[in-house]
Amino acid sequence: MTARAPALLVLQHVTCEPPAAYEDELLAWGARLHRIQLDEGEPLPDWRAFAGIVATGGPVGAYEDDRLSWLAAEKKLIADAVRAGTPYWGSSTSWGSRPRVAARRARARDRWLGASPILLRGSNAVASTT
Q: What whole-number distance in Å separates Cα of residue 89 and Cα of residue 28?
A: 18
38 belongs to a structural domain: yes
Share of the chain above pLDDT 90, in %: 22
108 belongs to a structural domain: yes
Environment class of 35 (CB within 10 Å of its CB; exposed 0-12, middle 13-18, buried 19+) = middle
Share of the chain above pLDDT 70, in %: 66
Which residues does 7 contact at the CB level (< 8 Å), separation at least 6? Answer: 31, 32, 33, 34, 50, 51
Q: Which residue has the higher pLDDT, 101 or 73?
A: 73
**With 80 as the cut, is the pLDDT of residue 119 above it?**
no
Residue 51: per-residue pLDDT: 93
Q: Which residue has the higher pLDDT, 103 or 69?
A: 69
**With 50 as the cut, is the pLDDT of residue 129 above it?**
no
Nearest one of 62, 66, 69 to 97, comparing CA atoms: 62
Q: What is the mean pLDDT of residues 59-77?
A: 84
119 belongs to a structural domain: yes
Q: How many domains does the chain have?
A: 1
